[in-house]
Amino acid sequence: MTVDTLKSWLDERLSISSLGYAAQKKEVPLHRQSIWYYFGGMTLFLFVVQVVTGILLLLYYRPSSENAFESVQFIMTEVKFGWLIRSIHSWSANLMILTLFIHMFSVYFMRAYDRPREVTWVSGVVLLLLCICFGFSGYLLPWNEVSFFATKVGTEIAGVVPVVGKTMLRFLRGGDEVTGATLTRFFGFHVAVLPAMATVFITVHVLLVQLHGMHVPARYQQTHRRMKFFPNFFLRDLIGWLVAIGVLAALAAIFPWELGVKADPFVPAPAGIKPEWYFLFMFQTLKYIPAKILMFDGEVIGIMVFMLAAAVLFVIPFINRSPEQHPRRRLIFNVLGGIALLFMAVMTVIGYFA
């Protein structure tokens, strides 16, 4: 029984040789901006880390307000390497969102969403929103003081949206207040609903990337070299992923994710409560908006602006077409993108130290 016999057996049934052929053909363009190509794969890798560590945590976690905190404490103290798995899960979540933002901004500035890749971009924005939801729902699960109040504030803000806000708030919270019902619901979102949706959209996104190949920025169209994906680029990806594992293990051991104190719905919120860093820029911005703008509630305006920005994100490929004919438009979009990036960075820093 040789490798060849095995191969032809599988090929007859699963048509793997065509897959192998396609894999051999896959190439990655090489140019000065190729480094950004790593970030999509890195995000996917970190997502896989989340799935694996998440499933492991599922073996011990209990999603009820009486047991959740204790079960996480149990994982941290009694389960062998529980501290490692849990800390990796928490850190990898943050790292994934970071690489996701880098990936998104690099695609934006390189205009990789241009035709024919508009659907890839849209599916990517959906994935961005899904990952934010993953982060928000997962954050509540340890049911500690910080996460309780972060969820309270976060869902409160959702409730401020006009017309649908109240319904959204009740839907998210499973009631009018943040209770054990919220926890169970968020758990359901986090381990079932969101993974299912993410699987669909990741499949679409990755398949489309295979279909269209990597986008090359206009200025390198003529001058770029090519590199085979298997094994060359893939091995490079692997180095990145190994370094990521190392970083995660280091973070888990040197900066273990704290458990804090168990949530108590009747205790007033501790001073200086703030959400996770990827929400910080919005949180801080809302703080700066005056209470009233003309006759409207300042907070509502702020939230509507952010929602508008998210909506705009979806349609960018459709409003920024053929920049060759509109060079000024390209400049505007670059500048706007730069401003957005700067704004988010500055607000995050301020929010962190405020």
Check binding of 31 to another protein (CB under 8 A).
no
Q: Smallest distance, Å, CB 22 to another protein?
A: 20
Check binding of 13 to another protein (CB under 8 A).
no
Scanning residues 77 to 136, which ones bind another protein (CB under 8 A)? Answer: 77-86
What mask, x for binding another protein by CB under 8 A, covers residues 175 to 214? ----------------------------------------
Secondary structure of the chain in HEC code, one letter for each residue: CCHHHHHHHHHHHHCHHHHHHHHHHCEEEECCCHHHHHHHHHHHHHHHHHHHHHHHHHCCCCCCCCCHHHHHHHHHHCCCCHHHHHHHHHHHHHHHHHHHHHHHHHHHHHCCCCCCCHHHHHHHHHHHHHHHHHHHHHHHCCCEHHHHHHHHHHHHHHHCCCCCHHHHHHHHHCCCCCCHHHHHHHHHHHHHHHHHHHHHHHHHHHHHHHHHCCCCCHHHCCCCEEEEHHHHHHHHHHHHHHHHHHHHHHHHHHCCCCCCCECCCCCCCCCCCCCCHHHHHHHHHHHHCCCEECCEEHHHHHHHHHHHHHHHHHHHHHHCCCCCCCHHHHHHHHHHHHHHHHHHHHHHHHHHHC
Q: Which stretch binds another protein (CB under 8 A): 52-60, 122-130, 132-140, 209-217?
A: 52-60
Instruction: Select the residue interacting with another protein from 33, 73, 106, 179 (CB under 8 A).
Output: 73
Nearer to another protein by Cβ, of 60 and 101: the residue is: 60
Q: Which stretch binds another protein (CB under 8 A): 73-81, 90-98, 190-198, 332-340?
A: 73-81
Instruction: Please state, as a whole number, how many other Cβ atoms lie within 10 Å of the Cβ of residue 174.
Output: 17
Scanning residues 211 to 250, which ones bind another protein (CB under 8 A)? Answer: 225, 231-232, 235-236, 238-239, 242-243, 245-246, 249-250
Nearer to another protein by Cβ, of 55 and 335: the residue is: 55
Instruction: Please state, as a whole number, how many other Cβ atoms lie within 10 Å of the Cβ of residue 299.
Output: 19
Check binding of 270 to another protein (CB under 8 A).
no
Nearer to another protein by Cβ, of 23 and 79: the residue is: 79
Q: Smallest distance, Å, CB 90 to another protein?
A: 12
Q: Smallest distance, Å, CB 43 to another protein?
A: 19
Q: Which stretch binds another protein (CB under 8 A): 51-59, 193-201, 333-341, 342-350?
A: 51-59
Pull the structure tokens for residue 162: 């006009």
Number of residues binding to another protein, judged by CB under 8 A: 42
Check binding of 164 to another protein (CB under 8 A).
no
Nearer to another protein by Cβ, of 81 and 343: the residue is: 81
Nearer to another protein by Cβ, of 47 and 201: the residue is: 47
Q: What are phi and psi of 293, to 5 degrees?
A: -120, 115
Q: Which residues bind another protein (CB under 8 A)?
A: 52, 56, 59-60, 62, 66-67, 70-71, 73-74, 76-86, 225, 231-232, 235-236, 238-239, 242-243, 245-246, 249-250, 252-254, 256, 258-260
